Chain A
Amino acid sequence: MCLAIPGKLLELTIENGLKMGTIDVNGSKTRACLEYVPDIKVGQYTIVHAGFALKIIDEEEAAESLKLWQELIESGAFQPDEELPSAESL
Chain B
Amino acid sequence: MKLFELGERTAQVHDVLVTVAELAERDDARAVLLESADDPALLRPYLNRLDLVVLRFSIFRDGRGFTQARELREYLRFSGEIRAEGHILPDQAAFLRRCGVDSVVLPKNGNGDPGLWEKQLRQFPIAYQRSVLPERAIGSGFRVEEAP
Answer yes or no: do A and B interact. no
